[in-house]
Amino acid sequence: MERIKCDLQGEWEITDLSEPSKIIVIEITRDHKLIVISQCLYIDTILKREGLDQANQVSTPLNHNITLGPNPEGNMGDRSNSYAQLLGSLQFLANAMRPDIAYAVSRLASYSTNPSLQHTTAIKRILWYLSGTRDYGIKYSNTPSGPNHFSGYTDAAYANADDCKSTTGYMYLAQRGAITWRSKKQTITALSSMEAEYVALSEAA
């Protein structure tokens, strides 16, 4: 590392800021055994922008007792940019740091062209969930977690989308922390739960 820094200083004027504590909006905390990354300040910014920094807290990002569906025919819903803007902020958060909201954000993205009151309420619920979990992060440990220090998981929810398509979910971990994950609607219509699982494995490979 010292040699690399000397080489860079030979070409450009640089400042050594030592170990990073923040990269863009990702906060980094470390000690001799752990590295923890989080986005507390970014979540606070979203909550304050939406006027929900003192919001009631809920335990899940989606209400599983409510069935989401397209905006009822003839109802134009809210076509303003507010829903899409909030969705974009949550998509960045889900992709960068929070796999626990990845499915909820992916599901609500299906209704971004014509969101109804139901969808607006559902996306606010994600904020209520984040209000109580803003300090959640991903923890990486230097303690060996297995012979290869690498593992992955995948699954599929069969025909759970409006058009009867299935949903793929996967996550890979290294040093006991998530390094990549995704929740997405499958591009084909699986005819069985086994086929949905096969597609999920293919997409996670």
Write the pLDDT tens digit of every residue in 121-166: 999 999 999 999 999 999 998 776 555 578 899 999 999 888 889 9
Q: What percent of the chain has pLDDT over 70?
A: 94
- 134: Cβ contacts below 8 Å, ≥ 6 apart: 40, 43, 44, 47
Q: Are residues 199 and 121 in the same domain?
A: no
pLDDT the model gives residue 145: 55
6 in a domain, yes or no?
A: no
Q: Which tokens hold the place of 30?
A: 């470390």
- The mean-pLDDT minimum among 23-27, 127-131, 143-147, 189-193 falls in 143-147
Token match 């050594």: residue? 16
Residue-range definition of the domain harbouring residue 120: 18-142
Mean pLDDT of 65-89: 81
Mean pLDDT of the chain: 89
159 in a domain, yes or no?
A: yes
Q: Are residues 112 and 127 in the same domain?
A: yes
Strands 137-141 and 150-157, by their bridges, are: unpaired
Mean pLDDT of 82-99: 94
Spatial distance between the Cα atoms of 39 and 3, rounded to a whole number of angstroms: 32
Q: Are residues 98 and 34 in the same domain?
A: yes
3 in a domain, yes or no?
A: no
pLDDT the model gives residue 147: 55
Mean pLDDT of 179-205: 91
Q: What percent of the chain has pLDDT over 90?
A: 61
10 in a domain, yes or no?
A: no
pLDDT the model gives residue 144: 62
105 in a domain, yes or no?
A: yes
Q: Are residues 65 and 99 in the same domain?
A: yes
- The mean-pLDDT minimum among 11-25, 46-60, 70-84, 93-107 falls in 70-84
In total, how many domains does the chain have?
A: 2
Spatial distance between the Cα atoms of 154 and 150, rounded to a whole number of angstroms: 14
Q: Are residues 129 and 154 in the same domain?
A: no
5 in a domain, yes or no?
A: no
Of 118, 142, 166, the residue that ends a domain is 142
Q: Are residues 132 and 56 in the same domain?
A: yes
Q: Are residues 166 and 67 in the same domain?
A: no
Q: Are residues 70 and 101 in the same domain?
A: yes
Q: Are residues 100 and 170 in the same domain?
A: no
Q: Are residues 98 and 164 in the same domain?
A: no
Mean pLDDT of 51-65: 91
Q: Are residues 194 and 169 in the same domain?
A: yes
Q: Which tokens hold the place of 28?
A: 């980094």
Of 142, 162, 182, the residue that ends a domain is 142
Q: Are residues 93 and 65 in the same domain?
A: yes
119 in a domain, yes or no?
A: yes
pLDDT the model gives residue 130: 96
Give the pLDDT band of residue 114 (cuts 50, 70, 90).
Answer: confident
Q: Which of 47, 204, 197 is nearest to 129 (CA)?
A: 47
